[in-house]
Structure 1
């Protein structure tokens, strides 16, 4: 996955130290083909299925970021419905020893248009799956994001 230029610039100052970043995650819900379906991409960096996600660029609104990321990675147009979950994720240590901690904003999104397809080299495969049947290798963090976004409660969940 390409590292955004602004992160490379920050790394010149902080080295490998923990870098706090804002990330977004999309739970894209499609209901026009029968039962509700959720959009997933299989990541090229680890081969695992996941919900679409990305980093908020400087000056960009998070809701704009999530729409952009879904389009860039999976070629589907979406509309954000609500902010579902706000969490601070555990540190991630990358192979080059860079450490990041993401404040993650999970949005519930509504499918608007487009055929799910590969949009960039960050994704190996795309798939719509029934909302109640996520990929087996979806990790616990992603499963929680999915569950909160699919719940009928319109309130955003804030971890404490």
Structure 2
């Protein structure tokens, strides 16, 4: 996945050192209650739709943009489902702390398809028939499914999930 000019410029200054980025994730449900997932092109794992916010971009705008860019699906945000920090170390050694806000959304238009180079597959999955997902993806899904659940966040001293 190509880095934005913003990230490239930061990396030119700090190398592989830790950078903190704001990110968003979408738990998108269709009219049948299925969850939209994408199979990532970098590691071939299934995950929820997610991405970095651009400078000056509101989280809701970034979320709507990311979902449509990656999957062709238009969404309406129903609620903020959670906020947490998780660490990512890329194969080239770049270290990041991602502050992720995830939202429960419903599909309102478009057709699910691979719509950019970040995914090799896109699909709808019943909550009881999900492909293998990492613990952080499962946390985001679990905390988003109840329509009126409170926003989830890690309590002081609590880790998001093993390895994050």
TM-score where L is the length of structure 1 = 0.93
Gaps of at least 5 residues in structure 1 are none
SS at match of 2:27: strand
CA contact (8 A) 1:19 1:100 kept: yes
Shift of 1:93: 1.4
Once the two structures are superposed, residues 1-49 of structure 1 have per-residue CA deviations (whole angstroms, 9 ceiling, x without a partner) of 0111111111122111100001111000111xxx311101100000011
Instruction: Say which of 87, 93, 114 aligns to 2:110.
Output: 114
Residue 18 of structure 2 is aligned to residue 18 of structure 1: yes
TM-score where L is the length of structure 2 = 0.91
Q: Which runs of 4+ in 1 moved over 4 A?
A: none
Q: Distance in 1 between matches of 2:64 and 2:80?
A: 13
Q: Distance in 2 between matches of 1:61 and 1:154?
A: 23
Aligned residues: 155
Once the two structures are superposed, residues 41-99 of structure 1 have per-residue CA deviations (whole angstroms, 9 ceiling, x without a partner) of 1000000111000000000001111110010010000011111010011x211122111
**2:56 counterpart residue number:** 59
Gaps of at least 5 residues in structure 2 are 156-164
Q: Distance in 1 between matches of 2:150 and 2:129?
A: 24
Q: Distance in 2 between matches of 1:52 and 1:109?
A: 11
Shift of 1:153: 3.2
Calculate the aligned-residue CA RMSD, in Å.
Answer: 1.0
Matches within 5 A, 1:84-103: 84-89=81-86, 91-103=87-99
